[in-house]
A and B are shown apart, each in its own frame.
Chain A
Amino acid sequence: MGRKLLTEHINVEGIDTFEVYRKHGGYRSVEKAIKTMTPDEVVEEVKKSGLRGRGGAGFPTGMKWSFLAKPEGVPRYLVCNADESEPGTFKDRQLMAKLPHLLIEGMITSSYALGANTSYIYIRGELLYVLRILEKAIAEAYANGFLGKNILGSGYDLDLHVHPGGGAYICGEETALLESLEGKRGNPRNKPPFPAVQGLYARPTVVNNVESIAAVVPIVNDGGDEYAKIGVGRSTGTKLFSACGHLNKPGIYEIELGLPVEEFIYSDEYCGGIWKGRDLKAVVAGGSSVPILPKELILKTAAGENRLMTYESLSDGGFVTGTMLGSGGFIAMDETTCIVRNTWNFSRFYHHESCGQCSPCREGTGWLEKVLHRLEHGHGHMEDIDLLVSVAKQIEGNTICPLGEAAAWPVAAAVRHFRDEFEWHVTHAKQAAQPGAVFPGAAVLV
């Protein structure tokens, strides 16, 4: 059993109330930080912890914090990115719905470290019911003196608000999120300037994922060094994985980074193996935008070593034989899954969610979707397969925000590892277009 730093009390009755949460040690990090530490000391602990952004990019949180510009007399903001929309990812929703006070505690401690007096939680609009849970918890925190003026008699003031989105994946990109919070369309901004200098309302702003902010709580409570002892190398601490797809026990699992992927999939403590007694075909390990890997490459690296659930091990082999940890959205597919159909589905998603600002993404995602649609529906040509690779290449690196890459990578990886299945969709078009058709061959190992 791994240690659970975030979810230890997630199933305690009434843990969503201030009283019960407090009884289980809640809000200690706020007391410790505000009463015994300077803001810079809190930042230092987060740096020492090695915590990396849990939203998908994996950028060190402490370093992001240290970039925040602090001009005299100018307000600065902390914004929590709760726009969880990456297909396969549902950890933040569970964390917020069940442990609302953990996020609020993390927001207070983090806002203190950054010197923010107003902070926002931007939550995706579909999760309005979670917004109500958070608002209730925030009202309790105000009533108990942990929010508002002069918190715990320290002279530090903080207001915390929850803000709903309106249904747009792109608002998970931090500058699109800020545009949206300002009441505009979610078009990502050109960078620089980065939000750390000009963010919300053109003020210095830090945007962090829900899980990153929640992780600040154990880091401040136990110290950054303690946190860094968990994990392997530069992958420190615990991480929430959202397991879904063809698993016996889909759900949220908090693991110590470094757990072997094989144990995560097959052990009864975690996902309990593949459903219906079937064999595993492929895994998308970190949300829909990371490269898909066939069974053999997700369980072992190309060098034959056990693949571990760490940033480094999952990306071992680069995009030729590796993938990324991403957001921790772990999608498992059994042996009957049609890779072409699944890739088409993901491309349709990115086409639908492209904001339309940059032509390579706006047009390219449309091309990917249409070409994949015709391959899946029995009208494809052999040259379509290379066309997909070519379109994907032309999107990559040519857009304002990473949605372009997110759309391109899954297609490129699917063709790389499952080319025969794409070819079979041309050579056996009629058969492949039948609902539930199963490709008889095996994945190609590069």
Chain B
Amino acid sequence: METTAVKPQFSEAAQAEIKRLLTHYPDERRKSALLPVLHIAQAEFGGWVSPEVQDLVAETLGLKPIEVYEVSSFYTMFNLKPVGKHVLEICRTGPCMLRGSDELTAHLERITGAKVGGPASEDGLFTLKEVECLAACGFAPIVQVREKYYEQLDTPEAVDAMLTELRNQVHRPALPWEETGLPNALANN
């Protein structure tokens, strides 16, 4: 099908990071970089990986597009549909449920207006997604937003603090290390 959409391109910072990642694997095993490159792609292109973005990933690594599609659809972290500015990944597994994750989900649906599994809230700010165990069970209930864990969200005040912090983020970092600083290997070069 013909499309008029502009073909996505990785930024220079992303290209440099991909180049660094490729040095981690044997030359004939570039495919190994697929998951890390998908993470970069999702961070660069609005929090999800469109078919066009996945094709770009395939081209970058010299893979067939199907090799990317079958992987992006297997792993739960990759969003295959457009998402709001912030994706709130709410842990729903046993230990979080014991400490109130069902109530947390209902509360978040009420105050953001978004529904789990549905489109983003009307203001485009929040997408709600239920996920399985995030390995932070001692600090339940938990929400993950990109690389940050918000823990012990068992009071309305804690939830409000999280949402306020997210609402006040004017700039959504395109690449994770805009938040956390350059990986040292890059900074040293």
Q: Does B16 contact A (CB under 8 A)?
A: no
Judge whether B135 and A163 touch: CB under 8 Å: no
A201-B26 contact given A126-B144, A132-B183, A331-B95, CB 8 Å threshold:
yes
Judge whether B136 and A183 touch: CB under 8 Å: no
A90 vs B34: C-alpha distance when bound (angstroms): 26
A135-B185 contact given A125-B77, A166-B38, CB 8 Å threshold:
yes
A135-B183 contact given A185-B70, A353-B132, CB 8 Å threshold:
yes
Judge whether B33 and A167 touch: CB under 8 Å: no
Task: Name B184's contact: one of A139, A165, A186 (CB within 8 Å).
Answer: A139
A92 vs B134: C-alpha distance when bound (angstroms): 12
Stretch of A64-72, A150-158, A244-252, A313-321 lying at the B interface: A244-252
Mask, A76-92, CB within 8 Å of B = 1, is: 00000000111111101
Q: Does A124 contact B (CB under 8 A)?
A: yes
Mask, B167-188, CB within 8 Å of A = 1, is: 0000000001100110111001
A184-B138 contact given A140-B184, A345-B94, CB 8 Å threshold:
no
Distance of A229 from chain B, by nearest CB (Å): 30
A143 vs B32: C-alpha distance when bound (angstroms): 26
The size bracket of the interface on A is 35 or more
Judge whether B136 and A132 touch: CB under 8 Å: no
Q: Does A235 contact B (CB under 8 A)?
A: no
Distance of A94 from chain B, by nearest CB (Å): 8
Residue of A whose beta carbon sits closest to that of B140: A244
Chain A residues near B29 (CB-CB < 8 A): 182-183, 201
Q: From residue 330 to 347 of chain A, which have CB atoms closer than 8 A to chain B?
A: 331, 333, 337, 341-342, 345-346
A166-B188 contact given A127-B135, A129-B147, A329-B137, CB 8 Å threshold:
no
Q: From residue 146 to 165 of chain B, which have CB atoms closer than 8 A to chain A?
A: 147-149
Distance of B60 from chain A, by nearest CB (Å): 12
A166-B77 contact given A93-B136, A135-B185, A250-B139, CB 8 Å threshold:
yes
Task: Name A125's contact: one of B63, B75, B188 (CB within 8 Å).
Answer: B75
Distance of B86 from chain A, by nearest CB (Å): 16
Judge whether A352 and B137 touch: CB under 8 Å: no
Q: Does B99 contact A (CB under 8 A)?
A: yes
A333 vs B74: C-alpha distance when bound (angstroms): 33
Q: Does B10 contact A (CB under 8 A)?
A: no
A185-B74 contact given A125-B39, A136-B184, CB 8 Å threshold:
yes
Query: How many B residues touch A, CB cutoff 8 Å?
Result: 52
Q: From residue 75 to 95 of chain B, which have CB atoms closer than 8 A to chain A?
A: 75-78, 89, 92-95
A342-B180 contact given A163-B35, A352-B132, CB 8 Å threshold:
no
A163-B24 contact given A126-B144, A349-B93, CB 8 Å threshold:
yes
Distance of A414 from chain B, by nearest CB (Å): 12
Judge whether B136 and A180 touch: CB under 8 Å: no
Chain B residues near A30 (CB-CB < 8 A): none
Among B33, B75, B180, B181, the most chain A Cβ lie within 10 Å of the Cβ of: B75
Distance of B158 from chain A, by nearest CB (Å): 16
A244 vs B139: C-alpha distance when bound (angstroms): 8
Judge whether B138 and A345 touch: CB under 8 Å: no
Judge whether B98 and A337 touch: CB under 8 Å: yes
Task: Name A349's contact: one of B71, B99, B133 (CB within 8 Å).
Answer: B133
Chain A residues near B181 (CB-CB < 8 A): 132
Judge whether A166 and B138 touch: CB under 8 Å: no
Judge whether B185 and A139 touch: CB under 8 Å: yes
Q: From residue 85 to 111 of chain A, which have CB atoms closer than 8 A to chain B?
A: 85-90, 92-93
Q: Does B131 contact A (CB under 8 A)?
A: yes
Judge whether A331 and B98 touch: CB under 8 Å: yes
A87 vs B96: C-alpha distance when bound (angstroms): 9
Distance of A241 from chain B, by nearest CB (Å): 10
Q: Does B31 contact A (CB under 8 A)?
A: yes
Task: Name A169's contact: one of B32, B95, B132, B177 (CB within 8 Å).
Answer: B132
Judge whether A182 and B131 touch: CB under 8 Å: no
Given A87-B133, A167-B75, A244-B138, list of 8 further CB < 8 A pairs? A88-B137, A89-B135, A126-B77, A128-B39, A165-B75, A169-B133, A250-B139, A331-B137
Interface, chain B (partner A; CB < 8 A): 24, 26, 29, 31-36, 38-39, 61, 63, 67, 70-72, 74-78, 89, 92-95, 97-99, 131-140, 144, 147-149, 176-177, 180-181, 183-185, 188
Interface, chain A (partner B; CB < 8 A): 84-90, 92-93, 120, 124-129, 132, 135-136, 138-140, 143, 159, 161, 163-169, 180-186, 201, 242-246, 250-252, 284, 288, 329, 331, 333, 337, 341-342, 345-346, 349, 352-353, 355
